[in-house]
Chain A
Amino acid sequence: MAHPSDRKYSNEHEWVLVQGDVATVGISDFAQDQLGEVVYVDLPSAGDVLATGDSFGEIESVKSVSELFAPLSGEIVEVNSALGDTPETVNSDPHGAGWMVKVRLDDAAQLDALMSAEEYDAFIVEG
């Protein structure tokens, strides 16, 4: 699966899709492929405030448990509670229904620090 060019990527393998002043965050197709079958996603609550680099949740696969690191700062306005019952959506549709949180951006300029799809593809090849 290609990494869509409508969004930005972090070096912790999260994607960020901005619509208005709200950014949707999920993990990349590359990340879900590396993790393997996802069995549990622990997400924060709406209203929590994130700062870039904070651990804001955990994703557990049959192989490992990894922390989710905030790619940007802002207040969480919505979490994808559907992942509680169907965590495997992260594997089947990582860039769509497998999204994790929606964040109200407190500063749009912070997106500049993230990578484009092209840069991210190069980043994961470098390993």
Chain B
Amino acid sequence: MRYIPVTCEQREAMLRAVGVADVDVLFDVIPEAVRVVGGLDLPEGLSEIELSSHLSALADQNISASELVSFMGAGCYDHYVPSLVDHVLSKPEFFTAYTPYQPEVSQGTLQAIYEYQSMICALTGMDVSNASMYDGATALVEAALMACRVTRRSTVVCLPTVHPEWQNTLATYADAGQFSVAEPPSVDVASGATLLAGLADEALLGLAEVLGRGDVAAVLVQSPNFFGSFEDLERIARMAHESGALLVVATNPILLGIMEPPSAYGADIVVGEGQPLGGATSFGGPGLGFFTCRQEHVRQMPGRIVGRTVDVDGAMAFVLTLSTREQHIRREKATSNICSNHALNALAAGTYLSAVGEHGLAGIVRSCVAKAHYLRQQLLATGRFRAPWEADFGYEFALEFLGDVRSMQDALLTKGFFAGVDVSDVEAEHATGMLPAAGANLVLFAVTEKNTRAEMDAFALEVASL
């Protein structure tokens, strides 16, 4: 079907009506210097067959994680996705349906979201989950905004060990004047390693100083943090609450299969990136922001919430609830300008959790954690890496490479391995000022249930022979 927005005759008629001889005259206001002179420098057109093979050739230049052994993580993890997940996602009823406003025609979608919310609550130990947000970064920012509404304060503190990309998103919102981000707790460069591994006493003293001003709405902490290490949530929660601030914890939901949930440490809002739950790595997206809070703050929660109710016949039914928080009801008083969610990604997470089950999930996480600890030991044994700190971690850890990181990664790529994520690459893109303190040659390694002992042994052997 051709779509012609305007015919030549219509264009002539419009030009006559505004008294202009030629379309180009309309662009006279654009300075000569910034205009493209002549046509765009594009190659000749291609036939469909030629185009298809051209695109395949381009795509072949990518190396997929499934073709190699990957130890990359840094916020996006290469977990196995059961085939059931894609089967459910591809059902046209789910795949094509737009926003489920109407309960009369959207019971399947609404029930799927309700089940997703229920499972996220079970994992986090929190009272309420919304229908999801875009990704972990936006969920963290929304948590900061929510904490400001709840406490009627407008400053947040973000611990420097939170994912640099997420801190960047936080700074973008802060630039828009919605809230301000207090200077992070003072960082002692000498003890940087300890601080990064988990919070050192000095850093907590710095945090206490910031909180002492009494105007902080929330402390934002990620655990496990960007470097894979667990933070001292219990202590940070106590400090936050003593100053009247809320505690916002970002976490990796798959680890909650065995970990004590953040709610047990007094978290008020728990958010995170849900990609590990059945989401593809796909160049780092699309993500799934999960967002949970305590019942008492639900009125200030952003995003959609699906509730369970009964219809006129008393049968179970699902509807969007507490919608007065949202901008399609009250634009100027809405809790968030994000009025959408990642329904398909939430469906993937719900399907994933249903497919693996409670015991299956615990088994997957135990396997990831055990393997990650094994790989760390093997890499240290090669003598090519140094441990920058000793801290508890889940299935991701940082080591300092004694040499040039880039050449090490390039060499191992030719042997079929993605040798982790170079932390200085992340710092170059999202400067936090925090990472250099941790040492210049830090490499982040993530190990999932997909990695085998044979792969790890082979990898360590290649590292040793560099």
Contact = CB atoms under 8 A, between A and B. Distances in A.
B324 interface: yes
Give the residue among B324, B329, B330 with the most A Cβ atoms within 10 A.
Answer: B324
A42 B330 contact: no
A65 B330 contact: yes
B294 to A, nearest CB: 14
Interface in B288-320: 299
Interface in A35-81: 40, 42, 58, 60, 65
B327 to A, nearest CB: 13
A42 B324 contact: no
8 contacts: A40-B299, A42-B299, A58-B333, A60-B324, A65-B324, A65-B329, A65-B330, A65-B333
Give 6 closest A-B pairs by Cβ, nearest first: A65-B324, A60-B324, A65-B330, A42-B299, A40-B299, A65-B329
Contacts of B299: 40, 42
- Majority SS of interface residues in chain A? strand
Contacts of A42: 299
Nearest to A45: B152
Interface of A: 40, 42, 58, 60, 65
A74 B314 CA distance: 48
Contacts of B333: 58, 65
Interface string B322-334: 0010000110010
A44 to B, nearest CB: 10
A65 B333 CA distance: 10
Nearest to A44: B152
A42 B152 CA distance: 14
Contacts of A65: 324, 329-330, 333
A39 B343 CA distance: 28
Interface of B: 299, 324, 329-330, 333
A58 B325 CA distance: 12
Given A60-B324, A65-B329, 6 more contacts: A40-B299, A42-B299, A58-B333, A65-B324, A65-B330, A65-B333
Nearest to B322: A40
A4 to B, nearest CB: 31
Nearest to A48: B152
Contacts of A58: 333
A120 B78 CA distance: 68
Nearest to B300: A42
Nearest to A60: B324
Nearest to A55: B333
A58 B329 CA distance: 14
A65 B329 CA distance: 9
A42 B333 CA distance: 13
A60 B333 CA distance: 13
B41 to A, nearest CB: 56
A57 B329 CA distance: 17
A40 B299 CA distance: 10
A54 B324 CA distance: 21
Nearest to A40: B299
A91 to B, nearest CB: 18
B267 to A, nearest CB: 23
A60 B329 CA distance: 12
Contacts of A60: 324
B136 to A, nearest CB: 30
A101 to B, nearest CB: 17
B333 to A, nearest CB: 8
Nearest to B324: A65
B325 to A, nearest CB: 10
A42 B300 CA distance: 11
Contacts of B324: 60, 65
A60 B324 CA distance: 8
A29 B299 CA distance: 26
A84 B299 CA distance: 12
A40 B325 CA distance: 12
A78 B437 CA distance: 51
Contacts of B330: 65
Nearest to A64: B324
A42 B330 CA distance: 15
A51 to B, nearest CB: 17
A65 B334 CA distance: 12
A82 B329 CA distance: 27
A78 to B, nearest CB: 19
Nearest to A65: B324
A84 to B, nearest CB: 9
A60 B321 CA distance: 13
A16 B333 CA distance: 27
Give the residue among A40, A42, A60, A65 with the most B Cβ atoms within 10 A.
Answer: A65
A82 to B, nearest CB: 16
B320 to A, nearest CB: 14
A58 B330 CA distance: 12
